[in-house]
Amino acid sequence: MENLGYSPDQKMSPNLKLASKSKVKELRKYTAALLLLAPLLLFILAFFVVPMLYVFYLSFIEVEGLDISNASYSIGNYLTFFSDSYFLRSLWMTMKVSIYAVIIALILGYPIALTMAKSSAKVRGYLTLLVASPLLISVVVRNFGWYLLLVPNGVVDQFLMKLGIIDSPLKLLFSVEGVVIGLANSFLPFMVLSIATSLYNIDPSLEKASSILGASPLKTFLTVTLPLSLPGVVAGIVLVFSMSMSSYVTPALMGGANVPVLPIVIYEQINTLFRWTFGSAISYILLGVTLISVTIFSRIFERKFKEVFR
Amino acid sequence: MKAARITVTVIGLIFLLIPLIVTIGASFTTAGYPTFPPKGFSLQWYEKILDRPEYMSAFFNSVKFAFLAAFFSVLLGTIAGLALAKYNLPGKTFIVSLLTSPLTIPHLVLGAALLIYFTPMLLAGKPIGFIIAHVVICVPYAIRFVLTGLSGFDYTLERAGMVLGANPFMVFWKITLPIIRPAIFSGAMFAFLISFDNVTVSLFMVSTNMRTLPLELFFHMQDSYDPMVASVSSIVILISAIFIVIFEKIYGIGKLFGGS
């Protein structure tokens, strides 16, 4: 303490008194803040953090059938997953479906975002409304529309047959293609909004400078706009990929038993077969694989385009 | 190049919106199965909803659960948000990311974890378990809305109230609350909609007699090909559309998802 230099009978300096008073005040402030934060903090700890840790712990318990009495700690659940070709195929299918969904969302999403960036504030507002609104409508409802479109002899089949492009139904429903279409449709808004945000941040004078210096619109796009929008593109890809990886409803409705992606397997293990410890392990495998793929992907991009990512 | 960009934009928007258009169109069909374009025009698939108790009770379940989930999310979120905005706590960013961390875990994994966690606590398949699970997924949004609403808040107003002799409760009631009311209101509506639309978490939390509307649709779609799914879906679209219009008026829908 600072008052060590003072003799005991000396009075406390007024400065010090003030300091201790403000310290008390600060302490009281923190107590108030903690009291206000406590309900939600406890809630999140009790019903989010602890359950997630509990499931992680369970994933290291191996159970024979449903009998918990002969449970043992091991990485057996993880070994089972990685040594069974059914589960490995399911993991690969999940990744494949998610990558396809990302590609479709990128191809359709980038032009939409570009149009939004180049429009007047009013048109941009309408486009944002059109793009973001579907996110507020239940995914079941949006998938039902695709169900009607893709069902054998449904809207798409009839349209293409009338045009003479195909002469028998495409069988898009209950297939990988159907799931990819459903996922791309569900998550396209996130791609558009991510890319649009980074396009809005581009200084328009850069594009002007490029065209004044004689670059064609295409060259300006390829050398100025596109590189500067990459952070948004990467963010969009990461979002759409991770949401597709863990999507349950769309594969269940559009793929059925034909497209057993990992979320379907997890649901089946936990909710139908009650193999909780194994289901917990698959859940963490899904989280891990998603996190690792996303990290590797964005690292590669950030390294390759250092200037753009600061 | 511009023509190509506009063309793809239009195709993209059609791709995005066509499932909604087809669903609404098919709900007016006169046929016994959903068709688009609809065969003729009738409202029979809307009238018949009233004779189907499962849809009616699912609708009321949805509204009830979403209302309660939104209420508790906003209550917890507002109290915590006020503390976070007002006091410059050490580790504030950490606390905010902890409180919003449910956003980073997929609903499927969260639902499974809560089912496993709730079963020994006898909360699985109970309304209270369902509401807790929905508050977990809704509360991060409530906090965000409150923090945004308080970001430009002028604390001299509160001090002025104190100086003039109001107690802390009066200060909150007469000064703070009216200023953040729009943020709380938007947060509540958003939380309501997130809960109302949810399928994946609900799947793990319900017993057969407490199905919500999206769940009822989900199960019906899997085992029957019935135009009533189209008419009920259209009603869900209509409800969402009302919310979307209100959001757009008071908040701007792009801001909800981090755009501008």
Interface confidence (ipTM) of the complex: 0.90
Neighbours of B171 (CB within 10 A): 18
Taking CA atoms, what residue in B is nearest to A141?
A: B233
Give burial (CB, 10 Å; 0-12/13-18/19+) of B231: buried
- For the cut 50, the answer to whether the pLDDT of residue B202 exceeds it is yes
- A49, burial (CB in 10 Å: exposed 0-12, middle 13-18, buried 19+): middle
Scan residues 70-109 of A and list those with Cβ closer than 8 Å to B. 107-109
Q: Which residues pair with A61 in a beta bridge?
A: A73
A52 touches chain B (CB under 8 A): yes
Q: What is the pLDDT of residues A134-152, one digit of tens each?
A: 999 999 999 999 988 888 8
Closest-CA distance, A59 to chain B, in angstroms, reads 11
Of the candidates A250, A138, A189, A125, which has an alpha carbon nearest to the alpha carbon of residue B241? A138
For the cut 80, the answer to whether the pLDDT of residue B38 exceeds it is no
Contact in structure between A47 and B136 (CB atoms under 8 Å): yes
Measured in whole angstroms, the distance separating CA A70 from the mean position of its chain's CA atoms is 38
DSSP E strands: which ranges in chain B? none
Whether residues A112 and B8 touch (CB distance < 8 A) is answered with: yes
Query: CA distances (Å), A20 to each of A29, A233, B90, in order?
Result: 14, 52, 19
Is A213 at the interface with chain B, CB within 8 A? Answer: no
Measured CA angle at B43 (ends B38, B44), to 5 deg: 100
Residue with tokens 């000064």: B175
Terminal Cα distance for chain B, rounded: 26
- Picking from A128, A276, A287, the nearest residue to B254 by CB comes out as A128
Q: Grade residue A69 by pLDDT with cuts at 50, 70 and 90.
A: low
Helix-strand-coil percent breakdown of chain B, rounded to 5?
Answer: 75, 0, 25
Query: Which tokens sit at A189?
Result: 């808004």
Q: Enter the CATH code of domain B54-256.
A: 1.10.3720.10
Residue B2 has pLDDT above 60, yes or no: yes
Q: Which residue is listed with tokens 């003479």?
A: A164
- Answer whether B80 sits within 8 Å of A36, measured CB to CB: yes
**φ/ψ (deg, to 5) at B187:** -60, -40
- Cβ-based neighbours of A90, under 8 Å, separated by 6 or more: A260, A261, A262, A264, A265
**Which residues from chain B sit within 8 angstroms of residue A114, using beta carbons?**
5, 9
A224-255 tens-digit pLDDT: 899 999 999 999 999 999 999 999 999 999 99
- Range A84-304 classified under CATH 1.10.3720.10: yes
Chains A, B: CB contacts within 8 A come to 269
B residues 68-127 lying closer than 8 A (beta carbon) to A:
76-77, 79-80, 82-84, 86-87, 89, 95, 98-99, 101-102, 105-110, 112-117
| Residues A182 and A266 sit within 8 Å (Cβ to Cβ) | no
Q: Which residues in chain A are closer than 8 Å to B91, comparing Cβ atoms?
A: none
Tokens of B158: 């509160």
Q: Which residues in chain A (138-197) have CB-CB distances under 8 A to chain B?
A: 138-149, 151, 154-155, 184-185, 188-190, 192-193, 196-197
Question: Is pLDDT of A25 > 80?
Answer: no
Confidence band (pLDDT; 50, 70, 90) for A300?
very high
User: Max Cα separation, chain A?
Assistant: 104
Contacts of B1 in chain A (CB under 8 A): 217-218, 221
CA distance B24 to B19: 9
Nearest to A270 among B112, B229, B241 (CB): B112
Nearest CB among A147, A249, A256 relative to B199 is that of A249
How many residues in total does chain B contain? 260
Do the beta carbons of residue B72 and residue A39 sit within 8 Å? no
Most confidently predicted of A182-196, B34-48, B138-152? A182-196
Are A44 and B256 a contacting pair at CB < 8 A? no
B193 contacts chain A (CB < 8 A): yes
Cis-peptide into B37, omega within 30 deg: yes
Q: Are B258 and A193 within 8 A, CB to CB?
A: yes
* A275 strand-pairing partners: none
Rounded mean pLDDT of chain B? Answer: 88
Instruction: Tell me which H or E stretch contains A72.
Output: strand A67-73
Measured distance CA(B255)–CA(B87) in Å, rounded: 26
Pinpoint the residues of chain B covered by CATH 1.10.3720.10.
54-256
Residues of A within 8 A of B87 (CB-CB) are 29-30, 32-33
Å between B156 CA and nearest CA of chain A: 17
| Closest in B99, B214, B257 to A140, CB measured | B214
Q: Residue A5's pLDDT is what?
A: 42
The owner of tokens 């399928």 is B199
pLDDT of residue A7: 45
Q: Which of these, B62, B98, B100, lies nearest to B197 by C-alpha position? A: B62
Distance of CA A251 to the CA centre of its chain: 16
* Distance from the Cα of residue B50 to its chain's centroid: 25
Q: How far is CA A64 from CA A3, A270, A278, B31, in A?
A: 68, 15, 11, 52
Segments of chain A assigned to CATH 1.10.3720.10: 84-304
Question: What is the tens place of the pLDDT at every residue in B214-250?
Answer: 999 999 888 767 788 889 999 999 999 999 888 888 7
